[in-house]
Amino acid sequence: MPNSSSTSQPATTGSETASTSYVNYVEMSAEQEYFLYELETTDSGSMGLVLRAIYDTGDVQSFARALQQRISHYDKNIQKVCSFHYQSFVDAMQELMKLKEQCQDIKEETVAIDAEIQQISQRLCQKKQEIVRYRKLMKNAKTAMDQIAVCLPVLENYAKLQEQMSNRKYYQALKTLEELEHTHLALVEKYRFTQVLAKSMAPVRLEIKEKAYSEFKDFLENIKKVAGRIGKHASKDTAEQHSFGVTDAERAKKIQEEARKNASNVEIEVSADGSIVKKNMSPKRNMKMQVEDDEQVSAQDLIDFTPVHRCCQIFNVLGAKEEFEQYYRQQRKEQCDLVIEPTHKMNNFKHYVEYLDEIVGFFVVEDQILMTQSNLSTTVDKDKLWDNALMKIRQHLDARFGGSPDVLMMLKMKKVILLFILTMKSYGYAVAPLYELLQNFRDQYNEILVKEYCAQFERDLEKDNYTPITVNSEEEFRTIIRKFPFYKRSMEQEPFPRRFPFSPFVTDAYTQAKNYLIGCLKFMDNLQLNTSAVDDTVRRCANVLLGRWAGVLKSFVHKRLSMIQLVQITINLGYLEKSCESLGAFITSKTSGEEAIGTTSHQVVLSEKVFRDVRSEVEQQIDECMRSKVDEIIDLANYDWELPAAAGQASEFISDLINFLQTTFTSFTNLPSGLAKHVCTQTCKHISQSMSDFLLSPETKCISTGALDQFSLDVMQCEMFTTRCPVAGVDPQTLSMTFADLRQLLDLVMSSDWTTFNAEYGKDHAKYLRVKASTAIVVLEKMIEFERKSTGFFGIAKGDRKKLLDTIVRQLKLLEI
């Protein structure tokens, strides 16, 4: 230490000296001074640079001399300082010698203390070593405990995982697994047992996935089983909401009111209404009871949707969310296809109800899942599923009922389908195509009804007795009046038996028409059409039926019907036409009830004109029938055209013919007057034409005078009929004209009034105006032919007559030109 202090002091002194020296030697060059300053002040690192600078100046010798001067200067200073401090140095040495002695004493004393301490602290050191060992032990124990504490959650969770897996709580298991993998295992990766655990946990994820799928499949199976009940319940809810039950109540109320209105009618009818009321009340009560029983049942109660939610969560955690979504949609689509496809045993009504209930249930569940798990499916997916299903449902129903002739089944199905529509609509599904289906069914139903009632109409035509209805008592009379709206005041005062103008066919047809309209109404029940629309539709249906009936009548009339049938039909048609107005009122009462009594609206008019065509057809057939009867008798004609002399009375067939006409026109008292006149006139015209055809027929080669006389007698008989015709209102003058042509021809030929004929031919007021020259020629030629044959047998005497006739023929031919 003292040496160190000495060393320091010289350094300080050196600095002071240097500063002083600089001021004293001003004769040195500035450059050399600068160099010396730099050497004294710079650090060793820069020495090289200074020396380089010195050598670069080129004047090394000069610098060396300057340097030597500076060294000498410094030596001189050093000697002065040494001399000055010599005495102090000696004093210091003496003090050091004393100190040496004192230190020696202290050293000895310290050694003794140290030995004593060493001895005393021997046990203490021993204790210290024990403490160190114990402390290390504790540290190790703490470390072990800490590590074990970190490992425990792993073990606990692993055990938990195992337990959850065995308890089939897969979502919780998956959460545990995730926690294990990402939280706890990361901390203890270095241990071998954790590696074994990690290896054994790898398949657990797969197992969870498989189990989840399995559980979901069970869920699908479950909802499949329960879908029908869900659908059934949903349909019942819809029925309740849309007042299907209330409709029955309203119907019962209406029937009660109608019963009150008809209180004046016979007791039987009142009882019938009463029983109907009871019948309607009963279903309503049953429906209420059913609703109460099923009130607790809902989709949520019947199905546990937890598996779906759990599966969503599991697959979400597994990172397979999209896979599950796709799987779900695929499975539901397949399930939907199964539900949509009817089984082969769909052969009665109950099966179809169950079929539609299954479909409703399926889509209710789908809607429920969509609402609670919106990421699993989308509205678009649901609608796509429904659209596809809807198409197939429609196809199946069309295929099954498209050609169905069963009206009752169609009515039932209509109600079921309507309920199906309303139910699906309430869950937000599009139902327009099903309404179209119902409309098609309605058209088809109406078509079936029309066919049925046309067939019935034809059967009624076939089995009618074509005899006016006769009643023998007031009761019978009232029965007919109730069946058919016929009113004739005078008839109520007539004595029994009373005769209606129409045959039973009319009352039957009218009843059938009303039943048909009721049938049409049944299908439109609950279709949510307003009163006006229903009314219009039913009226159009009525017109369709009437038109079809007219068609049936037309074809029926072309069968070989008797005069009796044809006449009664034409009478019946008149009353059917009149009944159209009553049918219209019937429709109004059925569709509008009391509400529309005061309503004035444009209504489709029932078409009574449809019977106009068929009526004229019938009248034509009457003409045909009469004509064919006339022809049958005329076919019996057996003229001997070479008769020498007339018999003196009409031919037998003419007598029979006239008798027949007389009897027929007398007996058919129910033939309408206008029609009778028409038929009578047409018949006479036909007879006249037939007689002319006899006379002018090419098959008749010759005619004798006697034959002409007989023919004339026959025509006379016909003329007598026209003057004494039994048909009321016929003008004898007019009717006689039907034989005028024939009469003039006969008169001309038989009286040989050729001079007059020739002179007046072509004039307006000619006596034989109706005779054509060509016609006269035909007859004359036949007479000539007869004369020719007679001459051959009886000599020359008749030759003159032949010549005369030949002359006349030549003259007539000139007239023709």
Contact set with another protein (CB under 8 A) = 462-467, 562-565, 629, 632-633, 635-640, 652, 655-656, 659-660, 663-664, 666-668, 694, 697, 699-700
For the bound state, the minimum distance from the C-beta of residue 637 to another protein, rounded and expressed in Å, comes to 6
For the bound state, the minimum distance from the C-beta of residue 660 to another protein, rounded and expressed in Å, comes to 6
Mapping DSSP to helix (H, G, I), strand (E, B) and coil, where does residue 725 land? coil
Run of H or E including 282: helix 267-294
Question: Concatenated DSSP letters for 297-308?
Answer: --HHHH---HHH
| Amino acid at site 126 | Q
Residue 601 in tokens:
């609206």
For the bound state, the minimum distance from the C-beta of residue 653 to another protein, rounded and expressed in Å, comes to 9
**Residue 534's closest CA among 475, 581, 478, 596?**
596
Contact criterion met (CB below 8 Å) for 361 and 387: no
Nearer to another protein, 140 or 697 (CB): 697
Nearer to another protein, 501 or 593 (CB): 501
Nearer to another protein, 309 or 629 (CB): 629
For the bound state, the minimum distance from the C-beta of residue 663 to another protein, rounded and expressed in Å, comes to 4
For the bound state, the minimum distance from the C-beta of residue 720 to another protein, rounded and expressed in Å, comes to 15
Nearer to another protein, 334 or 652 (CB): 652
Per-residue b or e along 699-720, where b marks 16 or more CB atoms closer than 10 Å to that residue's CB? ebebbbbbbbbbbbbbbebbbe
For the bound state, the minimum distance from the C-beta of residue 494 to another protein, rounded and expressed in Å, comes to 17
Nearer to another protein, 658 or 773 (CB): 658
Nearer to another protein, 313 or 655 (CB): 655
Nearer to another protein, 305 or 660 (CB): 660
Cβ contacts of residue 402 below 8 Å, gap of 6+?
Answer: 444
For the bound state, the minimum distance from the C-beta of residue 262 to another protein, rounded and expressed in Å, comes to 33
For the bound state, the minimum distance from the C-beta of residue 777 to another protein, rounded and expressed in Å, comes to 21
Nearer to another protein, 463 or 482 (CB): 463
Nearer to another protein, 22 or 556 (CB): 556
Cβ contacts of residue 707 below 8 Å, gap of 6+?
Answer: 639, 640, 641, 642, 643
For residue 410, the tally of other CB atoms under 10 A from its CB is 21
d(CA 396, CA 681): 63
For the bound state, the minimum distance from the C-beta of residue 735 to another protein, rounded and expressed in Å, comes to 20
Question: Concatenated DSSP letters for 604-643?
Answer: PPP-TTHHHHHHHHHHHHHHHHHHHHHHHHHTT----TT-
Run of H or E including 470: strand 470-471
Alpha helix (H) ranges present in 25-166?
30-41, 47-57, 60-120, 122-166
Residue 378 in tokens:
């989308």
For the bound state, the minimum distance from the C-beta of residue 272 to another protein, rounded and expressed in Å, comes to 30
Nearer to another protein, 219 or 505 (CB): 505
Residue 101 in tokens:
């002695």
For the bound state, the minimum distance from the C-beta of residue 632 to another protein, rounded and expressed in Å, comes to 5
Cβ contacts of residue 137 below 8 Å, gap of 6+?
Answer: none
Nearer to another protein, 253 or 499 (CB): 499
Residue 382 in tokens:
């649901």
User: Which residue's entry shows tokens 């039909």?
Assistant: 569
For residue 565, the tally of other CB atoms under 10 A from its CB is 22
Contact criterion met (CB below 8 Å) for 221 and 214: no
CA 224, 229, 234: angle at the middle one, nearest 5?
A: 115
Alpha helix (H) ranges present in 346-406?
349-372, 379-401
For the bound state, the minimum distance from the C-beta of residue 696 to another protein, rounded and expressed in Å, comes to 12
For the bound state, the minimum distance from the C-beta of residue 746 to another protein, rounded and expressed in Å, comes to 18
For the bound state, the minimum distance from the C-beta of residue 703 to another protein, rounded and expressed in Å, comes to 12
Nearer to another protein, 560 or 763 (CB): 560
d(CA 411, CA 594): 26
Cis geometry, peptide bond prior to residue 468 (ω within 30 degrees of 0): no
Cβ contacts of residue 163 below 8 Å, gap of 6+?
Answer: none
Dihedral sign for Cα atoms in the order 236, 242, 246, 251: negative
The length of the chain in residues reads: 817
Nearer to another protein, 606 or 633 (CB): 633
Contact criterion met (CB below 8 Å) for 300 and 272: no
Nearer to another protein, 81 or 728 (CB): 728
| Amino acid at site 679 | V
